[in-house]
Amino acid sequence: MRFTILRCPDVNLGMSFKGFGGDLSAPFSIASKRSFASFFEYFSESFAMAETSTGLWGAIMGGAGDDWYFRHYPNHRDHMQALGVIAANYNDLEGAFYRLFFIIMHNVNVGKLVFAKLNNAERMSVARKAAEIEPAVFRPLFEYFIAGFGVATENRNILMHSKAHNAGALASLGQSHLTFAKSTKADMDENNFVSLEVQELRDIADDMANFSVFGFDLFLWRVALITKGTITWGDGKTTTPTLPEKPREPRKLTLSAQEAQITVSPPQQSSAE
């Protein structure tokens, strides 16, 4: 793959310049200006001559040996990896909700059919109604799970339906966050934003994983309720599930019309901590 890039788009790295070797303004010294001009002139030549992205630029961007990394968000590889984990963990969480949903319907086949016909908002509404006749020790934990699932669903929808707003190779240099831009329902040309650090994305993924385990433990307890408190597995071994502790409440993302505003709700403490 050959790059033929002769000019660089306008970028803002704390100085003013246009293209390679353009005007470099204060506060940099003359020597600094010449260094930057030479730096970008070198990159211009490197781009024009590079046969693949495994040259200097590819190495700087962490993509040496594999231009796929260079072509896709080279400055936000950790953010993108965290997004992939969020997508996978949410699918596990939805599976935990699915199992709990059909078990409290008292008829597995009916529960599965109803679940398939509804969207998530409707599923949560039906599940809360069904929980009204559940055992008193189980119901508050189940409702806590539903609330956490709702927050996780909103977070997942924001992240998976947003554009990576500041993920250009040059536009994001020196930035540790990734800004997500989500179009409004009223106007696709208008966006709301949320900016997240890598650790914040990982926290969202971890919250989903923790709630998946929480939901599965609730499911096991509810299954054991049908079989007098004990589950017998296929190999003959038995287990007596106990009700799990509540995990931390998941963080809720809040979109803002202001691009630079980072709007992540602070972490909540559960009653179990």
Same domain, 7 and 39: yes
Least confident stretch, 25-34, 73-82, 176-185, 255-264: 25-34
How is residue 159 written in tokens?
């992240």
Distances (CA, A) of 176 to 76, 166, 197: 8, 11, 6
Same domain, 163 and 232: yes
Q: Where is the domain boundary, 44, 71, 98?
A: 71
Q: Map tokens 């005007």 to a residue.
A: 23
Same domain, 105 and 202: yes
Q: Map tokens 């509540």 to a residue.
A: 246
Please give the Cα distance from 174 to 222 (Å, whole number). 50
Q: Determine, yes or no, domain membership for 270.
A: no
Q: Tell me: pLDDT of 5 over 50.
A: no
Report the half-sphere exposure of 264 (CA within 13 A, side-chain side): 22
83: left (phi over 0), alpha (psi -120 to 50) or beta: alpha
pTM of the model: 0.69
Counted residue by residue, the chain has a size of 273
Same domain, 24 and 151: no
Domain that holds residue 198: 76-239
CB atoms within 10 A of CB 202: 17
Same domain, 90 and 219: yes
Query: Regarding predicted confidence, which is higher, 176 or 48?
Result: 176
Q: Which residues pair with 183 in a beta bridge?
A: 191
Q: Determine, yes or no, domain membership for 233.
A: yes
Please give the Cα distance from 193 to 183 (Å, whole number). 9
Q: Determine, yes or no, domain membership for 190.
A: yes
Same domain, 100 and 228: yes
Cβ atoms of residues 155 and 250 within 8 Å:
yes
161-199 tens-digit pLDDT: 877 766 665 555 566 778 887 877 777 777 777 888 899
How much of the chain exceeds pLDDT 90, in percent?
44
211-225 tens-digit pLDDT: 999 999 999 999 999
Q: Where is the domain boundary, 47, 71, 95?
A: 71
Read off the pLDDT band of 92 (50, 70, 90): very high
Q: Which residues pair with 180 in a beta bridge?
A: 164, 194
Same domain, 114 and 60: no
Task: Please tell me the total count of domains within the chain.
Answer: 2
Same domain, 157 and 115: yes
Q: Tell me: pLDDT of 138 over 80.
A: yes
Same domain, 57 and 81: no
Query: Regarding predicted confidence, which is higher, 169 or 108?
Result: 108
Q: Determine, yes or no, domain membership for 266.
A: no
Q: What is the mean pLDDT of residues 110-134?
A: 93
Same domain, 195 and 145: yes
Give strand ranges (E) for 25-79: none
How does the average pLDDT of the chain come out, rounded?
75
Q: Determine, yes or no, domain membership for 3.
A: yes
